[in-house]
Structure formats: structure tokens, C-alpha cells
Amino acid sequence: MMVRVVYQAHNRLNLPLYRGGELWRRVTFAEDGCRYSTTDGGEVELLDEMLSDGCRLFWRVTERCAEEPSAESAEEPSVESAEEPSVESVEESSVESVEGSEGGKVVKGVSTLKGVRDYLNRECGVVYARMNNRQEVLRLVEEYGLEFPDWKVD
């Protein structure tokens, strides 16, 4: 069994990887929601080195994969939260998420636009730059299948 290392970013990225001071190759975070995955030990080493040097453009997610797909490899990857940016919200302590009737997620305890933006950032990985106005936030809420019953949208 080999280990596939997956890196997640908030935006599409195209990063140069340098080895010995020279450009070795470029990696692009574009697949499946701004992800990059590799089993190449050299890439893992260089990307992990960037993270340990304080890079906050992406974080690491690790998946196990066998040469043949198994139930174990189909599971959701586990996020190493130490490298993922975190956002704290005043409303966070009282937020409750439940499965909605049509497969969406109902998020209770969030009643402000700021709270919705914080939730989208923290739970869905949406960068604040994509949430410049109420219309964009509403579009993202619909895109992610979320419902905020305590948020009174004017």
C-alpha cells in the first residue's frame, strides 16, 4: 500500500518547486476543489518543507490508497488541522448543523452575514475575497446546499 498525499488550497494555485536552487517542476492545485495529490516522495518533501517554512497558501490532507481501490481508500481524507487556517466566530460556540430534508445541511445558530461568511470560510474553505457582497454569499450558500434558518436575509 502506498500513501497518496493530498494538499488543499482555498484558490487555484500553480506553484514552482525548486530543488538545488533550480526549478524542478510546477504543481497545480486545480483538481477537485483546488487540490493537488501526489505519491511522489520528492514532491511531498518539497511541499511539506514549504508548509514547515510557514507557507499558508495550502495545507495537507493525507489519504491512503492501495493499488486497487478498497473501502478504506474511498473514505473521506483526514485533514491535519494544525496546518489548516482557522477562523473563530462569536457565533461558533452555538452553531449546530443537521442534515436537511433534501440532503442539504441546515445550520442553526448563525444569524448574521458575518456569521455566514465565517461558517463558509471555516467549514467549506471559501476565502473571504469570494464573499464581497450579500449576493455572492447567497450564491455560495446555495452552491454548498446550506440553509441558515436563523439568518434573516433582507
Domain boundary among 53, 79, 105: 79
In total, how many domains does the chain have? Answer: 2
Residues 21 and 57 in one domain: yes
| Chosen domain end from 35, 57, 79 | 79
Alpha carbon distance, N-terminus to C-terminus of the chain? 53
Helix, strand or coil, per DSSP, at residue 5: strand
pLDDT given for residue 20 in this prediction: 86
Identify whether 103 is part of a domain: yes
Domain span at residue 132? 92-147
Q: Are residues 55 and 96 in the same domain?
A: no
Last residue of a domain, one of 58, 79, 100: 79
Residue 86 domain flag: no
Tell whether 71 and 10 lie within a shared domain: yes
Query: What are the start-end ranges of the H helices in 1-154?
Result: 31-34, 41-52, 113-124, 134-143
Claim to verify: residue 63 and residue 8 sit in the same structural domain: yes
Considering the domain boundaries, does residue 87 fall inside one? no
CA separation for the pair 57, 7 (Å, rounded): 10
* Inter-residue contact 34 to 9 (CB < 8 Å): yes
Asked whether residue 35 is domain-assigned, the answer is: yes
Asked whether residue 74 falls in the same domain as residue 7, the answer is yes
Q: Are strands 105-108 and 146-147 parallel, antiparallel or unpaired?
A: parallel
The confidence score (pLDDT) of residue 126 equals 78
Res 90: pLDDT:
38
Give the global pTM: 0.43
pLDDT at 8: 87
Q: Are strands 35-38 and 22-29 parallel, antiparallel or unpaired?
A: unpaired
Determine, yes or no, domain membership for 152.
no
Shared domain for 72 and 32, answered yes or no, is yes
Rounded Cα–Cα distance for residues 35 and 58 (Å)? 9
The one-digit pLDDT tens for each residue of the chain (154 residues) are 567 888 888 888 889 999 888 999 999 988 777 888 888 989 989 998 888 888 888 888 865 544 444 444 344 433 333 333 433 433 444 555 555 555 678 888 888 888 888 888 888 877 777 887 888 889 888 888 889 999 887 6
